[in-house]
A and B are shown apart, each in its own frame.
Chain A
Amino acid sequence: MNKQSTKDDHIRTPSSTNPPPHAHSRSRFSGDSFGHSFGRDNPSPDKKFATKNLLSLQDFASEKSISLTKDAIRRLLKNKMAVLALVTIIFYFTITLLGPVLPIYSYRFQVLEHRNLPPTWNKTAGQLWYEREKNLTEAYAQRQNRELSPQEHAELKEILYRIEHDRISIEDETVNPHTRHYLLGTDQLGRDILARTIFGGRISIAIGLIGALTAVIIGILVGSIAGFYGGKIDYILMRFVDIMYGLPYMLLVIILMTLLGRNVINLYFALAFISWLTVSRVVRGQIISLKNAEFVEAARTMGANTVRIIAIHMIPNTLGVIIVFTTLRIPVFIITEAFLSFLGLGVSAPLASWGSLIGESVPLLETAPWQLFVPSIAMTFFLFAMNFLGDGLRDAFDPKTKVRR
C-alpha cells in the first residue's frame, strides 16, 4: 500500500527535486524500446539503442537455443546419482561388449582339476589346487589319526609334477593350465567365473535391451493406433491387452518356453511377447491426451495425414515418457530373465546369463559362496544403476523439476 503511493508520487511529479533513480528510468526506457522494435517503421530517436538492445537479447536467446531433450540431458547431468549410474552402465556396456577381446580366459573351457577354486589375487590355479588337495588329504588322515600314507605322498607329488609339466591346447595354443590366475574363482566345472560373469552379462543386458526395445516398439504401435483411432479399434485392442494382463505373466512365459524350446532367441520372444502390454497402455494414454492438443489440430488444418500426425507430431511428444519407461523396463527384463534361468528355463550351458550363473551356484552355496556372490553383485550393481538412471531421466523429463533447480 505504502509502496504503491510512493511510486504514484514518482510518476505524477516528474519534475520533482529528486530525480528518479537511474535504474528505474532505464528499465522503463528499455521496455519502451523493446516494444518499438517490433513495429515495422518507427522513426523513434532511440531506435539505435532499441535495435542494439534487441540484438543483445537475441544473441542471448540464440545462445541458449536448446531443445527440450537437450534441456533434459542437462538436467540429468546435474543429478549426481544419475551420472554415477550412467558411468556404471557405460562401464558395463564396454566390458561386456569387449568381452571376446579382453585378456580373460574362455568362459566355456573346463579344467576339471580346477573345480570350485576360490577367488585369489596372487596364487596360481596350480598352487590352489595343490593346497586344496594337500589340505584335504591331511584332514582325512588326521581324522583317522595317522600320518600320510606313502601312496598319498605319491599322489601329492604327482600333482606337483603335473603342475610343472601339464600342457593342454586351448584355442590352438598349448599352455600350462595350472599357471592360470582365477581372480574371481572357478565354478563346479573349473570355468573362470570372471569370464562367465562378463559373458553372462552380455546375454542378460542384451535380452534386457532388445527385449525392452521390442516391447516399446510393439507398445508404441498398438498404443498409438488404439489411442488415435479410438472407438471400436481401441476397444478391441485394449480388451486384448486386458485379457493378456489377466493371464499370469510367469506362467505364460514358462509355457511359451517349454513349447518353443530352450534357447536365447525363444526366451527373448517369450519375454517381448508379454511385456509390450504396459507400454501400449502408457502410449495410448499419452496419445489420447495429445489427440485434442491444438498443435495436432493445427497440423490437420495444414493438411498433414494421419501417419504424419502420429509419427511426427504425436510420438516425439510422448518420447520422454517412453525413454523413462524403457530405462525402467530393462531391469525388469533382466530380473525376469534371471528368474527363468534360475528355474532352468533360460539359456542353456555352456552359454551363461547372470540368472543361470546364480541358479547353478545354489547347490554349492556353503562350500563355494563366491559362485553366487560374483554374478549376484554384478547384476545388483547394474540393476541399481539402471533404476537410478531411470529415476534421473524421469525427473529430467518432468518439466516441473525445473523449478527445483
Chain B
Amino acid sequence: MNKDKDKKVMNEVHAPHTQGKELLLDVKNLSTHFFTPDGIVKAVDDISFVLRKGEVLGLVGESGCGKSVTVMSLLKLIPKPGQIVSGSVNYKGVDLIKCNTRTLQKIRGNNISMIFQDPMTSLNPFMRISSQIMEPLMIHRGMKKKQAFEKAIDILKMVGISDAEQRIRNYPHEFSGGMRQRAMIAMALACEPDILIADEPTTALDVSVQIQILETIKELATMLGTAVIFITHDLGVVANMCDRVHVMYAGRIVEEAPVTRLFKHPAHPYTQGLIDSVQQLFDDTQEPLRVIEGHPPTLVNMPDACLFYPRCPHAHELCTKKRPPRVHLHSTHMAECWLHATHQPDTFNTSPPLPQQASDHEQKE
C-alpha cells in the first residue's frame, strides 16, 4: 500500500468526527527524532490524531514507546538531541510547530497545560505552593499578587484541598503525595486551559489516592470544558477515564478506537496482549498471568517492517518485510497490522483471532 493511500485511509478515519464537536487539536504526521551518537531514534514516528473539545483522549503503551515525547512535541518542549522533523500541530488555526518561542510561551500554561508523573519532583521545593499556583496567573492573566493569591486559594479549594487558606502558605515538602498532585492540577488548571495534558498523573501515587486524583481531574475537566490527553500504561485507568484511546508502540499509533470498542474487540495483537496481561481480580483459573514476551525495540535504525513482529504471536514473513498499513476496521477504529489488511496474503499459517466485524449497534454503546 503506498503512502498516499495510507493518508487517505487516515482521513477517512477522522472524517466522521470532525463533523461533531469543535476540533481543538489536529496533529498531522508528527515525527520527533532524537539524533544520538548511536543513530537516529525515531521516538515519535508519523503520528496523526485529533482532539475535540471536552473529550478525554487516552495514550496507552509501554514505557519508552513515545507517549511522553508525543505530548512534549505538542508543546515543542523537546530537549536538545531531539528534533521535530515533520508534521503539524494545528491548534485553533495556529501551527504550534511553526510558532516562535514567545507565542508558545503564551500558549503554554494558558491554553495548553500539563500535569506530570511525579508530584514529588514536579513542584519546586524552594517555592511556596501559593507562588507556584500564582505563577501562571501572573504570567498569563497579568494579575497582581493579591488578586492572584485569592484566585489561587479558590483553585486550591476547587481541587479538593481542605483548609486551603492555611495550606497555601506551605512548601511542597509539607504536602502529601496526593495533595502535591492536587496542587499540580491546580497549577495546570489555574488559567482554565482548553487542553490538559496529564502525563501518567497517578503512577507515582498509591492506589487509594489514585482514584481521588482521577475523579478530581475528570470532574474539573467536565466543569471547565477542558479536553484531556491522558497518558497512562494502566488499562484500568483508561477504561475509567477515556472516551477514545490511542495505543502506541515504538513511536507509532498502532491502534485507535473508542474505549468500549477497544476493550471488546482489540484488533492489534499488541493491544490484545496488553489487555490479556491485566490481572483479573476474580480469576479462579490457576494459570500464570499472561505477558507479552520480550521488550520494546530500542528505536535506533529501525527496519521498514512491523516493529512488533518479534513479540507478536501472529507474526508472519510479510511482517518482517514491509510496514503494515493503517487499516480502518470501522469509521472510528484503526489498526496498523497486516492481519486486517484487505489484500491480506493467504500465506498466513496461523489463524489469527480476528475481531468480529464492526456493526453499527456497537458504536451506539
> Which chain A residues have a beta carbon within 8 Å of chain B's beta carbons?
35, 37-40, 54-55, 58, 61-62, 64-68, 230-231, 292-295, 297-305, 308, 312-313, 316-317, 319
Contact of A297 among B80, B116, B126, B135 (CB under 8 A): B116
How far in angstroms is the closest Cβ of chain B from A172?
A: 54
When the two chains form their complex, are residues B121 and A294 in contact, meaning their CB atoms are under 8 A apart? yes
How far in angstroms is the closest Cβ of chain B from A234?
A: 11
When the two chains form their complex, are residues B140 and A64 in contact, meaning their CB atoms are under 8 A apart? no
| Other A-B pairs beyond A294-B122, A301-B77, 10, CB < 8 Å | A58-B166, A67-B126, A292-B79, A293-B121, A295-B124, A301-B113, A301-B114, A303-B136, A308-B139, A319-B126
How far in angstroms is the closest Cβ of chain A from B222?
A: 14
Is residue B86 contacting chain A, with contact meaning CB distance below 8 A?
Answer: no
When the two chains form their complex, are residues B80 and A230 in contact, meaning their CB atoms are under 8 A apart? yes
When the two chains form their complex, are residues B135 and A299 in contact, meaning their CB atoms are under 8 A apart? yes
Sample 7 A-B pairs with CB under 8 A, ordered by A number. A38-B209, A38-B212, A68-B125, A68-B171, A294-B122, A295-B121, A301-B188
List the 8 closest A-B pairs by CB distance, nearest first: A303-B109, A302-B109, A303-B108, A301-B114, A294-B122, A294-B121, A316-B126, A295-B124
Is residue B118 contacting chain A, with contact meaning CB distance below 8 A?
Answer: yes
Give every chain A residue within 8 A of B109 (Cβ-Cβ). 301-304
Give every chain B residue within 8 A of A312 (Cβ-Cβ). 127
Give every chain A residue within 8 A of B166 (Cβ-Cβ). 58, 62
Contact flag A303-B106 (CB < 8 Å), given A58-B163, A298-B184, A298-B187: yes
Which chain A residue has the least Cβ–Cβ distance from B211?
Answer: A39
Contact flag A305-B167 (CB < 8 Å), given A294-B121, A313-B124, A316-B126: no
B156-191 Cβ-contact flags toward A at 8 Å (1 or 0): 000010110011011101100010000010011000
How far in angstroms is the closest Cβ of chain B from A44?
A: 15
B118, B121, B128, B184, most chain A CB atoms within 10 A: B121
When the two chains form their complex, are residues A297 and B77 in contact, meaning their CB atoms are under 8 A apart? yes
CA distance A300 to B208 in the complex (A): 30
Contact flag A304-B80 (CB < 8 Å), given A58-B167, A68-B171, A316-B126: no
Give every chain B residue within 8 A of A40 (Cβ-Cβ). 160
When the two chains form their complex, are residues A316 and B127 in contact, meaning their CB atoms are under 8 A apart? yes
When the two chains form their complex, are residues B140 and A317 in contact, meaning their CB atoms are under 8 A apart? no
Is residue B123 contacting chain A, with contact meaning CB distance below 8 A?
Answer: yes
CA distance A312 to B126 in the complex (A): 9
Contact flag A300-B212 (CB < 8 Å), given A61-B170, A68-B125, A295-B123: no
When the two chains form their complex, are residues B139 and A302 in contact, meaning their CB atoms are under 8 A apart? yes
How far in angstroms is the closest Cβ of chain A from B334?
A: 29
Contact flag A305-B105 (CB < 8 Å), given A38-B212, A299-B135, A316-B127: yes
Contact of B105 among A68, A292, A303 (CB under 8 A): A303
B114-149 Cβ-contact flags toward A at 8 Å (1 or 0): 101110011111111000000110011000000000
When the two chains form their complex, are residues A35 and B114 in contact, meaning their CB atoms are under 8 A apart? no
**Interface residue total, chain B, C-beta cutoff 8 A:** 45
Give every chain A residue within 8 A of B23 (Cβ-Cβ). none
Q: Which of B98-114 contact A (CB under 8 A)?
A: 105-110, 113-114
Is residue B75 contacting chain A, with contact meaning CB distance below 8 A?
Answer: yes
CA distance A253 to B335 in the complex (A): 71
CA distance A2 to B77 in the complex (A): 55
Which chain B residue has the least Cβ–Cβ distance from A39?
Answer: B212
Give every chain A residue within 8 A of B108 (Cβ-Cβ). 300-303
When the two chains form their complex, are residues B170 and A65 in contact, meaning their CB atoms are under 8 A apart? yes
Give every chain A residue within 8 A of B123 (Cβ-Cβ). 295, 298
CA distance A54 to B54 in the complex (A): 35
Which chain A residue has the least Cβ–Cβ distance from B77?
Answer: A300
Give every chain B residue within 8 A of A64 (Cβ-Cβ). 174
Contact of A65 among B80, B116, B174 (CB under 8 A): B174
Which chain B residue has the least Cβ–Cβ distance from A231?
Answer: B80
How far in angstroms is the closest Cβ of chain A from B133?
A: 10
When the two chains form their complex, are residues A303 and B139 in contact, meaning their CB atoms are under 8 A apart? yes
When the two chains form their complex, are residues B169 and A298 in contact, meaning their CB atoms are under 8 A apart? no
Give every chain B residue within 8 A of A313 (Cβ-Cβ). 124, 127
B124, B170, B178, most chain A CB atoms within 10 A: B124
CA distance A292 to B123 in the complex (A): 13
CA distance A24 to B105 in the complex (A): 54
Which chain A residue has the least Cβ–Cβ distance from B219?
Answer: A40
CA distance A285 to B122 in the complex (A): 20
CA distance A61 to B113 in the complex (A): 30
Give every chain B residue within 8 A of A67 (Cβ-Cβ). 126, 128, 171
Give every chain B residue within 8 A of A304 (Cβ-Cβ). 105, 109, 135, 139
When the two chains form their complex, are residues B116 and A298 in contact, meaning their CB atoms are under 8 A apart? yes
Give every chain A residue within 8 A of B128 (Cβ-Cβ). 67
Contact flag A298-B122 (CB < 8 Å), given A37-B162, A303-B108: yes
Give every chain A residue within 8 A of B135 (Cβ-Cβ). 299, 302, 304
When the two chains form their complex, are residues A62 and B167 in contact, meaning their CB atoms are under 8 A apart? yes
Give every chain B residue within 8 A of A35 (Cβ-Cβ). 208
When the two chains form their complex, are residues A294 and B116 in contact, meaning their CB atoms are under 8 A apart? yes
CA distance A119 to B309 in the complex (A): 93
A61, A295, A312, most chain B CB atoms within 10 A: A295
CA distance A17 to B187 in the complex (A): 53
Which chain A residue has the least Cβ–Cβ distance from B215?
Answer: A40
CA distance A304 to B110 in the complex (A): 11
Give every chain A residue within 8 A of B127 (Cβ-Cβ). 312-313, 316
How far in angstroms is the closest Cβ of chain A from B221?
A: 16
CA distance A317 to B121 in the complex (A): 13
Give every chain B residue within 8 A of A319 (Cβ-Cβ). 126
How far in angstroms is the closest Cβ of chain B from A391?
A: 23
Contact flag A38-B107 (CB < 8 Å), given A65-B169, A230-B80, A295-B124: no
How far in angstroms is the closest Cβ of chain A from B110?
A: 6
Which chain A residue has the least Cβ–Cβ distance from B163?
Answer: A58
When the two chains form their complex, are residues A302 and B126 in contact, meaning their CB atoms are under 8 A apart? no
Which chain B residue has the least Cβ–Cβ distance from A35?
Answer: B208
When the two chains form their complex, are residues A302 and B113 in contact, meaning their CB atoms are under 8 A apart? yes
Contact of A295 among B122, B139, B163, B167 (CB under 8 A): B122
When the two chains form their complex, are residues B107 and A303 in contact, meaning their CB atoms are under 8 A apart? yes
When the two chains form their complex, are residues A301 and B169 in contact, meaning their CB atoms are under 8 A apart? no
CA distance A129 to B188 in the complex (A): 81
Give every chain B residue within 8 A of A61 (Cβ-Cβ). 167, 170, 174
Give every chain A residue within 8 A of B124 (Cβ-Cβ). 295, 299, 313, 316-317
Which chain B residue has the least Cβ–Cβ distance from A292?
Answer: B79
Give every chain A residue within 8 A of B160 (Cβ-Cβ). 38, 40
Which chain B residue has the least Cβ–Cβ distance from A64?
Answer: B174
CA distance A64 to B167 in the complex (A): 12
Contact of B162 among A54, A230, A305 (CB under 8 A): A54
When the two chains form their complex, are residues A298 and B105 in contact, meaning their CB atoms are under 8 A apart? no
CA distance A55 to B106 in the complex (A): 40
Which chain A residue has the least Cβ–Cβ distance from B101?
Answer: A305
